[in-house]
Structure 1
Amino acid sequence: MSIINNHQKDFDKAVEHFISDIAALKTGRANPAVLDSIKVESYGTFLPINQLASIAVPEPRSILIQPWDKSLINNIDKAIQGSDLGLSPTNEGDTIRIVIPPMTEEARKEIVKSLHKKMEEVRIVIRSVRDEAKEEILAAEKNKKFGEDEKYNLIEKLDKITGDYNNKIKEIGEKKEKEIMTV
């Protein structure tokens, strides 16, 4: 039983990573998470925008960035323009506004394709965690830590947990796909 519990956190970590990974996918609506990957040069180092400014979504298709230190506004503007996100920030003096352009059907389909790739990647991680746990179960049974019945019970439970996590990934992915395809 503890073998499965030991791997539970690996399953959870894979799902958490997947959720944070797909949060940055464009949906055609303003989402502050799209800025998470952008680092801004400030105070001799590079920091994420959310550590240098407050980020708000005043309208469904615009993001408003208010730097706490107004002297960093040009650095933030430059970092957003230099990113590969295709965003066009507008420097309004003490704030930066980003208007999210509407996405074409083709762009939406490309993002869905990327989502499906990420879903498959996390399924592979979940399978490898399952395989690792199964190897430990088989080794423990071979070393006489428990009997054959217990081995089959643990493998059955492991398969159920793996299926539950795969279903969770599918649900999250379908929800995100619907969000992306909604105009």
Structure 2
Amino acid sequence: MISDVLAEASEKMDKAVEAAKDDFGTVRTGRANPALFQKVLVDYYGTPTPLQQLASMVNQEARTLLITPFDKSALKDIEKAIAGAHHLGASVGNDGSVIRATLPELTEERRKDFVKIVRDKAEQARVSLRNVRRKAKDDLDSLTEVGEDEIARAEKELEASTKAHVDAIDDALKRKETELLEV
């Protein structure tokens, strides 16, 4: 029973760390890349749809992404969604069949803004880890057929696991900050 609670908590914490790393990938560094557009939702026939389901994306140049919609009727909606994604700051243009999204040059101020965004995402991930820990601790406390010593040992394991996962998020954050501030 204790092992089930700890295993479930560890699995959820692993997922939270992976989600944080994926979120870090959506914050741009020096090059335009399709992962930056991962969170862009397009209003496609009244339904918010992820951009990668509606179009193929290819790097044309370092700061330019070529977006080719699978359905040409969605061209204007895709263009509007990309222009509305303020975290990208992309200038958008189309020639009737493809969209060119050009990302602005990264200034020092913009890099610092990105660092703030990444730190916020890291804090959200840490909060998620603490919520998992709290639920696991409540589950451990509700176990009545086990001794107090075993529960205390399990709580120590839970704390160690939580610390390891928080450290993983902090390491990923440091790497991303270094990457962002590198000119």
Same fold per TM (> 0.5)? yes
> Equivalent residue for 1:171?
171
Work out the CA distance in 1 between the residues paired with 2:93 and 2:35. 19
> Equivalent residue for 2:36?
34
Which string of whole-angstrom CA distances, capped at 9 and with x for unpartnered residues, describes residues 74-120 of structure 1? 33222222332321112133221222221111111121122112212
Aligned CA RMSD, in angstroms, stands at 2.1
Asked if the contact 1:28/1:101 (under 8 Å) is kept, the reply is: no
Among 77, 86, 90, the residue aligned to 1:87: 90
> Equivalent residue for 2:141?
138
Aligned partner of residue 60 in structure 2, secondary structure = strand
Deviates more, 1:9-18 or 1:158-167: 9-18
Asked if the contact 1:27/1:180 (under 8 Å) is kept, the reply is: yes
**Residue correspondence of structure 1 range 35-114 to structure 2 within 5 A:** 35-43=37-45, 45-84=47-86, 85-114=88-117
How many percent of aligned residue pairs carry the same amino acid? 38
TM-score by length of 2: 0.85
Asked if the contact 2:92/2:101 (under 8 Å) is kept, the reply is: yes
Asked if the contact 2:67/2:100 (under 8 Å) is kept, the reply is: yes
How many residue pairs end up in the alignment?
180
Deviates more, 1:39-48 or 1:4-13: 39-48
Work out the CA distance in 1 between the residues paired with 2:155 and 2:176. 31
> Equivalent residue for 2:24?
22
Pick closer, same or farther for the CA change 1:157–1:88 going to 2, 3 Å. Answer: same
Asked if the contact 1:65/1:97 (under 8 Å) is kept, the reply is: yes
Say whether residues 1:126 and 2:167 are aligned partners: no
Work out the CA distance in 2 between the residues paired with 1:20 and 1:7. 20
Pick closer, same or farther for the CA change 1:43–1:126 going to 2, 3 Å. Answer: closer
Pick closer, same or farther for the CA change 1:148–1:53 going to 2, 3 Å. Answer: same
Work out the CA distance in 1 between the residues paired with 2:47 and 2:154. 49
Residue 159 of structure 1 and its aligned partner are, at CA, apart by: 1.5
Which string of whole-angstrom CA distances, capped at 9 and with x for unpartnered residues, describes residues 30-69 of structure 1? 1212223333343454422211111112333221111122
Unmatched tracts of structure 2, length 5 or more: none
Aligned partner of residue 59 in structure 1, secondary structure = coil
Work out the CA distance in 1 between the residues paired with 2:136 and 2:22. 25
> Equivalent residue for 1:159?
159
Amino acid at match of 2:136: A
Asked if the contact 2:93/2:100 (under 8 Å) is kept, the reply is: yes
Unmatched tracts of structure 1, length 5 or more: none
Deviation beyond 3 Å, 4+ runs, structure 1? 41-46
